[in-house]
Amino acid sequence: MAKVNKEIDNFAEKIAQAVDRKIIEVLDLGVDKKIKNLVNYQAISGGKRLRPMLAILSCLMCGGKLKDVLYPAAGLEILHNHSLIIDDIIDDSKTRRNRTTLWAKFGRSTAECVSIDYAAATFQAANRSKNPIKISEVFSRIMKSLVEGEILDNLFDIKKRKEEIYIVQNRYKKVLLADYLNMIGKKTAVLTENCCEVGGLCAGVKKSQIEHLKKFGFCIGMAGQIKDDILDVFGEDKIIGKKVGKDIMQGCRGNIVILTAMGELSGMDKTIFCKVLCKDKVNDKEIKVAINLIKKTDSYQKSMKIGRSFAAKAKKELGFLPQNKWNDALNKLADFIIERER
């Protein structure tokens, strides 16, 4: 796996260099030089560049040219970062990728304004593609689905946003696995699904191939979010770039590990665990207690099993697509998504 990880990282680095130039170019369009540092802050904060990688690999696999997919790939990464800015504000997250988040560094109102720049830049990138109308339509679908997924995620939380009438009135009393899978499908997997669709559109492939690309991308996204949830509980701060146990601190039931553990724990263990989740302010010691209780369950194994099943489904879709080195790269990427440590 270490060899595969290195190959993925090397390819990602090459893609990042090409895409990052387009990202900054598009973000800076029409922006006063006085605030360019604000606008560019989120974009240059790093990241795996998974979304543009999916679009580019899908395009190349299907016989497309790199030049035709670079702007749309940049637009997808800008759209992703737009959602991260909003996520960090909603979740009060102060660090991401071992760096202070945009709102924590410059203020909420400034971050909210910058997020609008990102939304606008997304469509400026689409307008520089060969299929601006189709690409813009895809971007619009992604944004609407992300909003729905974010609202669902908020409705799963046990204790947050007690002052928000809609959340209070519609908060889920019980979250089932099916609810969770529906939520991450809308909040996360829709983006990776449509990254692959964009790659196919840029390559000009048939509708049947687009469908296989979308299914591959969706399953990759599901596996990736499940792994993110696992790392939130079982990862290491320095490796994943943010505080472990953040979902526990926030009382988040939109995490498959927490959700599964709640279903397995009983007696005093469940009482203590639920008390930590429901507490307004949770300290590091209490987070550690909750994680130790989770480790008493089979939630890690069960979560990994579901994540791996999505990765396997993704790889199956590649069998219906052109067989070449790009297909092989996507196959390796599917394994990397669920087996990675960050």
Q: Name, in order, each residue with C-beta under 8 angstroms of 64's C-beta and a sequence gap of 6 or more.
A: 199, 202, 203, 204
- pLDDT tens-digit series, residues 142-159: 999 999 999 999 999 988
Please tell me whether the overall predicted TM-score, pTM, comes out greater than 0.85 for this model: yes
At 326, the amino acid letter reads: W
Among 143, 18, 132, smallest CA distance to 81 is for: 143
What total number of domains does the chain contain? 1
Q: What confidence score (pLDDT) does residue 111 get? A: 97
Burial class of residue 342 (count of CB atoms within 10 Å of its CB; 0-12, 13-18, 19+): middle
- pLDDT tens-digit series, residues 45-91: 877 789 999 999 999 999 999 999 999 999 999 999 999 999 999 98
Spatial distance between the Cα atoms of 14 and 181, rounded to a whole number of angstroms: 33
| Phi, psi angle pair for 336, to nearest 5° | -60, -40
Residue carrying structure tokens 């190349």: 60
> Which of 156-165, 197-206, 318-327 has the lowest average pLDDT?
156-165
- pLDDT tens-digit series, residues 91-136: 888 988 889 999 999 999 999 999 999 999 999 999 999 999 999 9
Spatial distance between the Cα atoms of 223 and 228, rounded to a whole number of angstroms: 9
For residue 295, give its domain range.
2-339
| Phi, psi angle pair for 100, to nearest 5° | -65, 135
Is 238's pLDDT higher than 80?
A: no
Reading the block at residue 120, the tokens are 């606008």
- pLDDT tens-digit series, residues 266-309: 999 999 999 999 998 999 999 999 999 999 999 999 999 999 99
Q: What confidence score (pLDDT) does residue 5 get? A: 60
Q: What confidence score (pLDDT) does residue 10 get? A: 76
What are residue 327's DSSP bridge partners? none
Is 192's pLDDT higher than 80?
A: yes
Assign 3-class secondary structure to the chain.
CHHHHHHHHHHHHHHHHHHHHHHHHHHCCCCCHHHHHHHHHHHCCCCCCHHHHHHHHHHHHCCCCHHHHHHHHHHHHHHHHHHHHHHHHHHCCCEECCEECHHHHHCHHHHHHHHHHHHHHHHHHHCCCCCHHHHHHHHHHHHHHHHHHHHHHHHHCCCCCCCCHHHHHHCCCCCCHHHHHHHHHHHHHHHHHHHHHHHHHHHCCCHHHHHHHHHHHHHHHHHHHHHHHHHHHHCCHHHHCCCCCHHHHCCCCCCHHHHHHHHHCCHHHHHHHHHHHHCCCCCHHHHHHHHHHHCCCCHHHHHHHHHHHHHHHHHHHHHHCCCCHHHHHHHHHHHHHHHCCC
The CATH number of whichever domain residue 221 belongs to comes to 1.10.600.10
Q: What confidence score (pLDDT) does residue 240 get? A: 75
- Cα R_g (the chain), whole angstroms: 20
> Which of 48-52, 70-74, 229-233, 332-336 has the lowest average pLDDT?
48-52
Spatial distance between the Cα atoms of 240 and 51, rounded to a whole number of angstroms: 18
Is 1's pLDDT higher than 70?
A: no
Predicted confidence band at 329 (pLDDT cuts at 50, 70, 90)? very high
Spatial distance between the Cα atoms of 77 and 231, rounded to a whole number of angstroms: 22
